[in-house]
Amino acid sequence: MIKYFILIVSSIFCLSCVAQNNYDVKLIPAELLPHANVVTRMEEIRVEIKDAGKATIYNKYALTILNAAGDEAASFFEHYDQLISIQRIEGNLYDAAGKKVKSLKKSDLQDISGTSESSLADDNRLKLHNFNCRIYPYTIEYESAIEYKGIFYLPNWLPIAAENYAVEKSKLVVQCPVDYKLRFKTFNYGKEPQITTVKETKQYEWMVEKLPALEIESYQPEWYEITPAVFLAPVDFEIQHYTGNMTDWKGFGKFIYALNTGRDKLPDNIKQQVHLLTDQVSESKEKIRLLYEYMQKNTRYISIQLGIGGWQTFDANYVASKGYGDCKALSNYMYSLLKEAGIKSYYTLIKAGENRNSLLADFPSNQFNHIIVCVPQGKDTVWLECTSQTLPAGYLGGFTSNRNALLVDENGGTLVRTPVYKKNENLQIRKIVASVNEEGKLTAVVNTKYEAQQQDDLNGMLNAVSKERVAEILKAQLNLPSYDIAKFDYSDEKGALPAINEMLELTANNYCTISGKRLFVIPNILNKSSSKITGAATRKFDIKLSSAFTDIDSVEINIPGGYTPESIPANISLETKFGTYNSNVKVTLNKIIFVRNFQRNSGSFPASDAVPLAEFFSKIYSADRAKIVFIKQESK
- The 10s digit of each residue's pLDDT in 464-474 is 899 999 999 99
Q: What is the DSSP letter of 409?
A: E
Q: Average pLDDT, stretch 197-212? A: 95
Ramachandran region, residue 410 (left: φ > 0; alpha: ψ -120 to 50; beta: rest): alpha
CB atoms within 10 A of CB 616: 22
User: Residue 418 has what pLDDT?
Assistant: 96
Radius of gyration of the chain (CA): 29
CB atoms within 10 A of CB 338: 26
Q: Please measure the distance between the N-terminal and C-terminal CA atoms of the chain and give it in whole angstroms.
A: 106
Task: Place 568 in a pLDDT band, splitting at 50, 70 and 90.
Answer: very high
CB atoms within 10 A of CB 452: 27
- Least confident range from 6-10, 90-94, 225-229, 570-574: namely 6-10
- Least confident range from 10-24, 247-261, 365-379, 384-398: namely 10-24
Task: Place 122 in a pLDDT band, splitting at 50, 70 and 90.
Answer: low
Question: Taking a C-beta distance cutoff of 8 angstroms, is the pair 503, 446 a contact?
Answer: yes
User: Residue 20 has what pLDDT?
Assistant: 55
Task: Place 431 in a pLDDT band, splitting at 50, 70 and 90.
Answer: very high
Position 356 pLDDT exceeds 70: no
Position 308 pLDDT exceeds 70: no
User: Residue 379 has what pLDDT?
Assistant: 86
b (16+ CB within 10 A) / e for 238-263:
bbbebebbbeebbbbbbbbbebbeeb
Percent of the chain with pLDDT over 90: 83
Q: Average pLDDT, stretch 324-348? A: 96
User: Residue 570 has what pLDDT?
Assistant: 96
Position 6 pLDDT exceeds 70: no
Task: Place 572 in a pLDDT band, splitting at 50, 70 and 90.
Answer: very high
User: Residue 5 has what pLDDT?
Assistant: 33
Position 118 pLDDT exceeds 70: no
What is the C-alpha separation between 372 and 247, in angstroms, rounded?
Answer: 23
User: Residue 355 has what pLDDT?
Assistant: 65
Q: Tens digit of pLDDT for each residue in 493-539?
A: 988 899 999 999 999 999 999 999 999 999 999 999 999 999 999 99
Burial label, 113 (beta-carbon count in 10 A; 0-12, 13-18, 19+): exposed
What is the C-alpha separation between 486 and 407, in angstroms, rounded?
Answer: 49
b (16+ CB within 10 A) / e for 536-557:
beebebbbbbebbbbbbbebbb
Q: Average pLDDT, stretch 399-409? A: 96
Q: What is the pTM of this model?
A: 0.89
Position 292 pLDDT exceeds 80: yes
- Helices (DSSP H) in 137-283: which residue ranges? 223-226, 249-260, 268-278
User: Residue 309 has what pLDDT?
Assistant: 58
Q: Tens digit of pLDDT for each residue in 58-98?
A: 999 999 999 999 999 999 999 888 888 999 999 999 999 99
Strands (E), 190-287: 194-198, 201-211, 229-234, 236-239, 242-245
- Least confident range from 5-19, 177-191, 425-439: namely 5-19
Q: Tens digit of pLDDT for each residue in 7-51?
A: 333 444 344 444 457 999 999 999 999 999 999 999 999 999 999
Q: Average pLDDT, stretch 424-432? A: 98
Domains of the chain: 2-239 (2.60.40.3140), 246-417 (3.10.620.30), 427-632 (2.60.120.1130)
What is the C-alpha separation between 282 and 284, in angstroms, rounded?
Answer: 6
**Where is pLDDT greater, at 242 or 430?**
430
Q: Average pLDDT, stretch 274-299? A: 96
Task: Place 310 in a pLDDT band, splitting at 50, 70 and 90.
Answer: confident
User: Residue 124 has what pLDDT?
Assistant: 73
